[in-house]
Amino acid sequence: MRGTAGRGTFMNVAVWESSRALGEAFRSPEFHKRAGHYPDSAVAAPHVFTKVAVPGICVA
């Protein structure tokens, strides 16, 4: 996703099988290798969210 109104904010949304799988990915050398390709000015702020059902809008 990309921010609106000229903002330079990007969001990467990933669905993981489990929190354990996410943790393993963050600890892997391949993850750190790929993260090293981002510019020094990039700021990462990882967050974990839970899907929420909204009646009449979406299901969890």
Domain boundaries, the chain: 1-60
> pTM for the complete prediction?
0.56
Rounded CA-CA distance 37/25 in Å is 16
27-53, pLDDT tens digit by residue? 999 988 998 898 888 888 888 888 888
pLDDT at 3: 63
